[in-house]
Structure 1
Amino acid sequence: MKKWTLLLAGCTLLSRLSAQETFPVNGVADKREQCYAFTHATIVKDIKTTLQDATLVIRKGKIVSVGNDVSIPKDAVVINCKSKYIYPSFVDLYSDYGITAPQREARGFDFRAPAQLNSNQKGAYGWNQALHTDVDASGIFAVDDNKAKTLRDAGFGTVLSHQKDGIARGTGVLATLANEKENLVILKEKASAHYSFSKGTSTQSYPSSVMGSIALLRQTYLDAKWYKGNPTAEGVNLTLQYWNEEQTLPQIFEANDKWAALRADRIGDEFGVQYILKAGGNEYQRLKEMKATGATFILPLNYPQAMDVEDPNDARAVSLADMKNWEMAPAEAGLFEKEGIPFTITAADLKDTKQFIANLRKAIEYGLSESKALEALTKTPATLIGAYDKVGSIETGKLANFIITTGPVFAEKTTFLQNWVQGDKYDVKNDGWSPVTGTYSVTVKGAAGSKTYTLDVKNENSASIIGTDTIPAKFSFDGKLVKLSFGETKKSRSSIRLSGVSSDSSWQGNGVDTAGNNLYWTAAFVKALAETKDSARHKMPVKLGKVTYPFDGYGWEELPKQETILIKNATVWTNEKDGKIEGTDVLVKNGKIAAIGKNLSEAGARIIDGTGKHLTPGIIDEHSHIAAASINEGAQSVTAEVRIADNLNPDDINIYRQLSGGVTSSHILHGSANTIGGQTQLIKLRWGLDDDGLKFKGADPFIKFALGENVKRTTSQNNNRFPDTRMGVEQVLNDAFERATAYQKALAADPTTRRDLELDALVEIMNKKRFITCHSYVQSEITATMRIAEKYGFRVNTFTHILEGYKVADKMKVHGANASTFSDWWAYKVEVTDAIPYNAALMTKMGLNVCINSDDAEMARRLNQEAAKSVKYGGLTEEEAFKMVTLNPAKALHVEDKVGSIKTGKDADLVLWSANPLSIYAKAEKTIVDGTVYYDIDRDQQLRKQITAERTRLVNKMLAEKKAGGAVTPARPSFQVILSCGDHDHHDGLFTVDAGDEMNNTTN
């Protein structure tokens, strides 16, 4: 017989007795102790220990005892938990509960509006207002029971809360979700330190890019270290003081993206900090790299919704990458578990916390084990924050934070009944405490005798009488009161009406029949209802697509491997003294060019027939802006501290597109927004590798300078950033190197001099350890810049754009500069009025090393054709022209010993063309980097078919989701922002590129 247990009406929450005697009592003080005993429960103490038919005793908000042989105190309120489960309440490490969100004003850098150059924070703080190290979450924390309820209903009992604003966000507070005074719920006032790449509400112009945020963090670590020993030299700097105090706390970094996670981890590695990384949901796309960080991740369960792709025009605008991510994102936690990457789970990022449990169950459906899910919500977060002695398991001495459920906590049909926090009961769905479903024997007694009926109860509002015929019944049960009415036959209506209450072992009450005769009735539980399969909810095994590298249609399921390759009988453009050699073989081995000649052979080599085809060195783009999350840090006139290397984006589809145009190396430049911009990064287009794998190892470091209109910004009437004239640009250069000279002398005299990342880069230039590529147009500025360089003992390595180069080629030759120019761009702004298409040829004939560059993601796919224009405009030979996109940029970038020509011992960066590479009809059939085929025209054709099939599969899957009644969102086009030299990034933490397949859209 089923037992029914009522929670006593008098068992209400008692006022907490504590040290708040200092708080006045408005009324009569209640000093009764709280003591409860939960009996006959299945108690899951932690992931390793589950007790059957056990008892839990709590007093004064703490666990007194738990076990199978527990003495129940005489003053305890006993709560029968038969058939109930008790679990430790969850812990969330990434919350802003109780913290008022800061006002988010218009922020970021806008070159069309006056810039806020200095911090507007009052007090003895540092120079940048995006550093909120002074924020102490415990000082602004306020209990909010309405918001706490949504989290308690999801199973949480404790949260780590902080103000989600800025790059350095101050400290977090660890608090329970009890509805008590703040001083009673706070477990740790300063429990953690928080960081991000997002400047948040700061209206200060710097930083305006991802790389600027990274530079600010790196410089602050250096400044804080210096401040420890030099407070008198600095004076009072509260920003650095608080920063130093917070370094002993757990360090939590909001990355929100797979590449941002790697960027953050590298900052931590540089300064000896292991961050706990807040994820964004796409980290499963790079599990190997995530594991290598050694970090614990905080995983959100904010999965993308299916899109409404019923309209084919809407569907074609959605990238394959976005559709793949919709399908695979719920598998992230399970994939992390499989890979052995430690993680916790958070309700952060969810628009509606009510979705948390449903999404968690979806994660389990997609591969996450229930034990790991529980661990990620209890022990792991509690341990990370140093609070496992208080929360995270059900053990004697810990806080009485636990949830009571109707079954295993993550089972689909399980209901959360109550969440007890610090010994206080908070109902979640308490009317489900006594589950009503089942078969009952109902006995009705009246003057005419008694009759027994069989009653099947499906839920609190649905039941039927089972006999020869099944008779519908009107039924309701609210946990205490029962109402039942039914007819004896199908033809009669409501012939019997009953009402009553539930007791410990049965229902009983009174009623009347149709004639008004009084009745007495009882009901006893017989058995549970048989489980019925709901075909509509039957879940098939989850079938997912595959992770590719990069995560789009043109990615690799397995990264390509270096091969031994023998290319036979091609026309080889050596770029060496041998020139073009007909009918020649080239052997590639161990990533290098091993041999060049006729009739070569190599056992086990992959043979590629080059008959009728042309083999050239890979094209090198001296001036590019692809594969980066941000390009300009334009907030200041000198930002030599920022590095393109810090924000490479290996997912950029332009890497693949440019491989299809024969490009094997690209020099990724900072933009032209400031006089001295950021440090550049030479990459090889190793499609599929991570950001570090793209870097051209061993190459000399460069930096971007700029002159002219982009820098002085006279096109904006609101510009308030110096300089405002061309002569001002010259003065900025002079001043920068004056400061660098003084800094170098100070370092030599005192090695403890405060490190300055900006000046470090300038000192490298003066010491010929870093080299300049300079955006330039007007001859007067070019000449002035060479004079500045000569004054400080260095040279400008390369003038890029250099459209008036033909006017000053003689001076450039004497100075020792290279030229990197466009083939025939002109008339796109005032300072290019004197540009001519003969520029490249004229500079070449003057004896300069001349390159043709792209500065444009689309043009880079046809640099071979851009080079060919100088055959027409200037009469260069084919080989001279082709060297301008191969050997000449290799020389300008100081890597001619590795790339730029086909020579034994050089890197095997090669392109096999279908025709003369200077022809508009030539196609790159195979592009090889370091002996690895990264582009193959035949594979490309096959991938296009696979992309079509995969898109069709995913569109149909989304349509099925809609048809089944699942939530869908309007289709969103997937945009790729293509950055260029003059772009000013609207920075808010991170930059992602969605569009990966042939259906993407682009915006300049």
Structure 2
Amino acid sequence: MMKKILLVCLSFWFFSANAQETYTVNGVKDERPGLHAFINATVHLDYQTVIENASLVIQKGEVIGVGKDVSIPNGAIIHDLKGKHIYPSFIELSSNIGMPKAENGRSPGPQLGPKKEGAYNANDAIKSYFNAHEAFEYKDTDAEKMRKAGFGVVLTHNQDGLVRGTGSVIALHDGPENEIILKEAASNHFSFDKGSSTQDNPSSLMGAIALIKQTYLDAKWYANQTEMLDISLNAFNQNNRYPQFFDAGGDKLYVLRADRLGDEFGVQYIIKGNGDEYQRLGEIKSTNAQLILPVNYPEAYDVEDPFDAMNVSLEDMKHWEMAPYNLKMLSDKGINYSITSDGLKDASKLSSMISQSIEAGLAEEQALKALTFNPAQFVKMGDKLGSLSKGKYANFIITDGSPVKKETKIYENWVKGNPYKYQDYSLPELAGKYTLTVGNDEYQLEVKGDPGKEKFGIVVNDSTTYDVKSEISKQLITLSFKDEGKDEVGKIRLTGWLNDDGLSGNAKMPDGSWVQWTATLNDEVSIEDSKDEKMDEEKEMEKDELGPLVYPFVAHGNADKPKSETILIKNATVWTNEADGVLENTDVLLENGKIAKIGKGLTTSGAREIDGTGKHLTPGIIDEHSHIAISRGVNEGSEAVTAEVNIEDVVDSEDINIYRQLSGGVVASQLLHGSANPIGGRSAIIKLKWGYSPEEMKISWADKFIKFALGENVKQSNWGDRNTVRFPQTRMGVEQVFEDAFTRARAYEAEWKAYNSLSKRDKNNATPPRKDLELETLVEILNSERFISCHSYVQSEINMLMNVAERYGFRINTFTHILEGYKLADKMKEHGVGGSTFSDWWAYKFEVNDAIPYNAALMHGEGVVTAINSDDAEMGRRLNQEAGKTMKYGGVPVEEALKMVTLNPAKLLHLDDRMGSIKVGKDADVVLWSDEPLSIYAKAEKTIIEGAVFFDRDAQEVKLNAIQAERARLVAKMQGEKSNGKSTQKAKKKSQIIYHCETEIQNYTSLK
């Protein structure tokens, strides 16, 4: 108790000595210097430098000496740490300690504008004006949780909004805020989560990305003008001087998205990931980003019930097994990172989680570096934090071993010289098994528990132990117990002392006699120790049985990404879509990703030969209108015009629908924005390269497209009574949106042309116009640099948009859906617009009541380039059959019907110079079918993209068996976790939203 009082007093004295510089003294001034010397310790100067039997001297919260031959100043309080370790305290870079709690981000109705009053940004999710040090309120209960886990410093910041403002470096000690705040503005923070903002925009991930991009552009423009005040943009520019942090959230693809966004503006973010970066190691490495990585590894799932086990995806099972390997795999790649406790329910679990990574092969030094040295460097405070050298803050922990191992005890945590004590390191470690000799009798004594909390027991056998009362005071010990094996009345009472050889002293027996006693720690391995060793061996075996890393990290992923091969397909029926028509018993050579030769009797050395006898080879199917492979929202429906958003920013390469559609012969898709507004977002055109990254899937040479829409969706007539605020609310209003948008775009283009025509001298004296992503996109349309695919149903509206386009000097590229196309196919032909339609969908809402299944045939007959699209993940798997329906409804010839899902969509997407037909020189994007390609019996046997086989039905059975075997292995491993007494989590099913045109997601942050 006296020690505790002394420590409290010392802490108060030190606080007084420091605080009195600027604070009024109440009472007698105390000028003691907070001088402490820690001797005989193993001092870890940093993550890799260790000095045995060293001393650490601190004064006024700083290190003034450390090493073997350090002189101890007079008046220093001496702490003998023989057998103990000193490590630098940890640094947390993802914290909101002391920050105000964000409100719930839900609005009772549409909110088109900001709520925050004043000269701030037009969007409430832009909070660049927020400064952590201004809002900070110290709460020692929160700080104490972090200190117990080994942290001495945190970077705290507002965790609300897309642009979050500055963060502050905080020392976790209880003192005045002018001493706690080590660095007022240390960082600038971003995220993809709009947080508490109830403003409608953004309502999607792509909207969030677009808003951040526009804010960068606005801030750059704002810096060069003097006519207006915008506190948010001014702060944004000021905050550029600090290290830039991005909380990517989501999964590993979000790290790539954050880095790509930063690259666009010349910013290298420090990115907080999700702990699954190992799944895209190569791509993560290429970002050159420093990372902040959570260690909230998932618990095993409770899969005792086989039906519960079916609900757990293979992806989740494999991540449970591989998550602890994330840190090692990133270290092996040379990726620099820090570790965060953010995401753990309790920061005290940190060492337990990191221990799992160390068991998985992570070097202790790497873990220590990621908790101390790296975070100090990330916030540019390496001169004061992260190691223990002269002049640095006295932030350190006293332990009995490595603090990144779960069994290690943290005795004390000193923060800027302020001590926080959790266990008394002067108490001996008594836990273990002893041979207790009392006179001529021998017992087995077992001691459990931490110093000061020991429990003693006499072990009779494996099932019987009886308690021993104990009392320990410094080096003295008193024990008493009743020998249950004897008839004697009374207890055996032992008194003695602790020494290097064990315990010894004198005992008073029940009959009143005195004898000597000793307790010697057993050296031999106990039964329990043998069990532990066996468990360790089993762990090693489990580690060796780690499942394969697959790309993508879901079922049907491949251990290796498919690579282009030289392939010779022999004796197939080849549907060329060219003047040659259908060629019987023909060979096709694929080489270097291209169609190299077409003919009979072809030979080549080193090629993979595929027998096409009785089979049919066609160009790969192209889906002009798809919504697969999109993350967190297909619609940015918050405003009538959202041309600034881009599906390319949110391509999801992990979507299982990519593989499913490969199994139906699809090789490429246009990923379209939905139909929530008249002018939606820009599209992404991708090849379905299963296992490749989003950037690798995009067709880099493709023309640029955008989604427009007409009808019920855009005027919100089917959105319910809540949505009656956003313009337009009528079909007349829809036309005015187009008129207004292109009028503004013309004026914007003229403004830039006028500026660009200025001489260099005049430009230096002029403010450049504000760059607007929305208007930039509309100008591209005016100049035929971006092309429109328009959601459409009703004849009158289709006419209207063609007229608008003609008034502004451009043409609509494609009317998609176009279910009333048969009514005005002649006008479509005259305008030069194509039609991408459904084969036989109708009557699912009022505006499609006039749809007929002959629509495609009638448009085709009028000379309109006509395609059949999916707009549906399931339909995308059978577009060949959808095309076949045009033969039944309208008598379209079979070759022309095939073109509706191959060559014609290629023409509509301007890909036909390289795709859509089998012709020498075109991309080797082909499908080998088991039967005539439009037959309901036809199966895609091999789907080949640029000469790489991405789907192979012959290998499918092997793949399915491997998936089943992998699931069985993981289920058994999880059952082993449960039988070993480890906690498990309830099995849960992972759901997926299948997007369609009208899918409107408001709370996009909760969806993948």
TM-score, normalised relative to structure 2:
0.93
Q: What residue in structure 1 maps to residue 242 of structure 2?
A: 249
Please point out which of 693, 704, 715 is paired with 2:707: 704
Please point out which of 857, 878, 886 is paired with 2:902: 886
Change (3 A) 1:509 1:119: farther
Q: What residue in structure 1 maps to residue 68 of structure 2?
A: 68
Change (3 A) 1:893 1:552: same
Q: What residue in structure 2 maps to residue 682 of structure 1?
A: 685
Q: Is the 8 A contact 1:406 1:433 kept in 2?
A: no
2:967 aligned with 1:970, yes or no? no
Q: Is the 8 A contact 2:472 2:478 kept in 1?
A: no
Structure-2 separation of matches of 1:479 and 1:727: 89
2:493 aligned with 1:497, yes or no? yes
Corresponding letter in the other structure for 1:604: G
Structure-2 separation of matches of 1:225 and 1:177: 37
> Per the alignment, in what secondary structure is the counterpart of residue 229 of structure 1?
coil
Change (3 A) 1:433 1:240: farther
Q: What residue in structure 2 maps to residue 165 of structure 1?
A: 160
Please point out which of 625, 628, 632 is paired with 1:626: 628
Structure-2 separation of matches of 1:471 and 1:102: 53
Q: Is the 8 A contact 2:285 2:333 kept in 1?
A: yes
2:592 aligned with 1:590, yes or no? yes
Q: Is the 8 A contact 2:576 2:917 kept in 1?
A: yes
Structure-2 separation of matches of 1:502 and 1:871: 96
Q: What residue in structure 2 maps to residue 79 of structure 1?
A: 79
Q: Deviations over 1:885-923 (max 9, x none)?
A: 111111111111101111111111100000001110000
Q: Deviations over 1:685-709 (max 9, x none)?
A: 1111000111112111000000010
Structure-1 separation of matches of 2:195 and 2:27: 45
Structure-2 separation of matches of 1:634 and 1:56: 61
User: When the two structures are aligned, how many residues end up with a matched partner?
Assistant: 974
Q: What residue in structure 1 maps to residue 31 of structure 2?
A: 31
Change (3 A) 1:802 1:504: same
Deviation of the 1:574 alpha carbon? 0.6
Aligned pairs (5 A) from 1:807-846: 807-846=823-862
Deviation of the 1:11 alpha carbon? 4.5
Deviation of the 1:521 alpha carbon? 8.5
Deviation of the 1:796 alpha carbon? 0.3
Structure-1 separation of matches of 2:820 and 2:493: 100
Q: Which runs of 5+ in 1 are unaligned?
A: 108-112, 445-449, 993-1004
Q: What residue in structure 2 maps to residue 654 of structure 1?
A: 657
Change (3 A) 1:488 1:592: closer
Corresponding letter in the other structure for 1:737: F
Segment of structure 1 superposing worse, 805-814 or 471-480? 471-480
Structure-2 separation of matches of 1:622 and 1:269: 30
Q: What residue in structure 2 maps to residue 264 of structure 1?
A: 258
Q: Is the 8 A contact 1:914 1:925 kept in 2?
A: yes
Structure-1 separation of matches of 2:370 and 2:204: 33
2:781 aligned with 1:765, yes or no? yes
Q: What residue in structure 1 maps to residue 800 of structure 2?
A: 784
Corresponding letter in the other structure for 2:639: Q
Q: Deviations over 1:915-962 (max 9, x none)?
A: 001110000000011111100001112111111111111111111111
Corresponding letter in the other structure for 2:171: T
> Per the alignment, in what secondary structure is the counterpart of residue 354 of structure 1?
helix
Q: What residue in structure 2 maps to residue 871 of structure 1?
A: 887
Segment of structure 1 superposing worse, 889-898 or 418-427? 418-427
Deviation of the 1:990 alpha carbon? 7.2
2:675 aligned with 1:672, yes or no? yes
Please point out which of 510, 520, 526 is paired with 1:514: 510
Aligned pairs (5 A) from 1:432-511: 433-437=427-431, 458-459=447-448, 461-463=454-456, 474-477=468-471, 480=474, 482-486=477-481, 490-491=485-486, 492=488, 495-498=491-494
Structure-1 separation of matches of 2:788 and 2:484: 96
Q: Is the 8 A contact 2:502 2:520 kept in 1?
A: no
Segment of structure 1 superposing worse, 532-541 or 403-412? 532-541
Q: Is the 8 A contact 2:839 2:853 kept in 1?
A: yes
> Per the alignment, in what secondary structure is the counterpart of residue 309 of structure 2?
helix
Q: Is the 8 A contact 1:287 1:336 kept in 2?
A: yes
Structure-2 separation of matches of 1:41 and 1:749: 73
Corresponding letter in the other structure for 1:611: T
Aligned pairs (5 A) from 1:278-357: 278-357=272-351
Structure-1 separation of matches of 2:80 and 2:434: 22
Please point out which of 343, 364, 372 is paired with 1:378: 372
> Per the alignment, in what secondary structure is the counterpart of residue 947 of structure 1?
helix
> Per the alignment, in what secondary structure is the counterpart of residue 51 of structure 1?
strand
Q: What residue in structure 1 maps to residue 143 of structure 2?
A: 148
Q: What residue in structure 1 maps to residue 556 of structure 2?
A: 554
Q: Is the 8 A contact 1:417 1:433 kept in 2?
A: no
Change (3 A) 1:574 1:536: same
Structure-2 separation of matches of 1:42 and 1:442: 33
2:717 aligned with 1:722, yes or no? no
Deviation of the 1:307 alpha carbon? 1.3
Q: Is the 8 A contact 2:470 2:480 kept in 1?
A: no
Identity %: 51
Q: Deviations over 1:130-185 (max 9, x none)?
A: 01111111112122221212111111111111111110111111011112222211
2:846 aligned with 1:857, yes or no? no
> Per the alignment, in what secondary structure is the counterpart of residue 957 of structure 1?
helix
Q: Deviations over 1:88-147 (max 9, x none)?
A: 11111111122232122425xxxxx73100000122101000011111111121222212
Change (3 A) 1:32 1:322: same
> Per the alignment, in what secondary structure is the counterpart of residue 11 of structure 2?
coil
Q: Is the 8 A contact 1:198 1:987 kept in 2?
A: no
Q: Deviations over 1:234-286 (max 9, x none)?
A: x1100001101111111110112211111110111111111001011111100
Structure-2 separation of matches of 1:676 and 1:929: 32
Deviation of the 1:465 alpha carbon? 8.0
Q: Is the 8 A contact 1:471 1:490 kept in 2?
A: no
Q: What residue in structure 2 maps to residue 236 of structure 1?
A: 229
Corresponding letter in the other structure for 2:915: V
Q: Deviations over 1:477-509 (max 9, x none)?
A: 556363311467941465432457879999899
Corresponding letter in the other structure for 1:807: K
Deviation of the 1:632 alpha carbon? 0.5
Change (3 A) 1:638 1:365: same
Q: Is the 8 A contact 2:436 2:520 kept in 1?
A: no
Please point out which of 204, 208, 211 is paired with 1:209: 204
Deviation of the 1:976 alpha carbon? 1.7
Across the aligned residues of Structure 1 and Structure 2, the Cα RMSD in angstroms comes to: 2.6
> Per the alignment, in what secondary structure is the counterpart of residue 367 of structure 1?
coil
Structure-2 separation of matches of 1:521 and 1:416: 37
Deviation of the 1:428 alpha carbon? 2.5
Q: Is the 8 A contact 1:101 1:164 kept in 2?
A: no
Deviation of the 1:397 alpha carbon? 1.3
> Per the alignment, in what secondary structure is the counterpart of residue 954 of structure 1?
helix
Q: What residue in structure 1 maps to residue 55 of structure 2?
A: 55
> Per the alignment, in what secondary structure is the counterpart of residue 14 of structure 1?
helix
Change (3 A) 1:503 1:786: same
Deviation of the 1:461 alpha carbon? 3.1
TM-score, normalised relative to structure 1:
0.93
Change (3 A) 1:585 1:228: same
Structure-1 separation of matches of 2:294 and 2:1004: 19
Q: What residue in structure 1 maps to residue 943 of structure 2?
A: 927
Q: Is the 8 A contact 1:62 1:397 kept in 2?
A: yes
Segment of structure 1 superposing worse, 62-71 or 291-300? 62-71
Q: Is the 8 A contact 2:503 2:520 kept in 1?
A: no
Corresponding letter in the other structure for 1:784: M
Corresponding letter in the other structure for 1:77: I
> Per the alignment, in what secondary structure is the counterpart of residue 225 of structure 1?
helix
Structure-1 separation of matches of 2:510 and 2:300: 54
Corresponding letter in the other structure for 1:103: E
Please point out which of 178, 182, 186 is paired with 1:183: 178
> Per the alignment, in what secondary structure is the counterpart of residue 399 of structure 1?
coil
Corresponding letter in the other structure for 1:546: P
Q: Deviations over 1:68-98 (max 9, x none)?
A: 1122223122111111011111111111122
Segment of structure 1 superposing worse, 709-718 or 82-91? 709-718
Q: What residue in structure 1 maps to residue 759 of structure 2?
A: none
> Per the alignment, in what secondary structure is the counterpart of residue 661 of structure 2?
helix
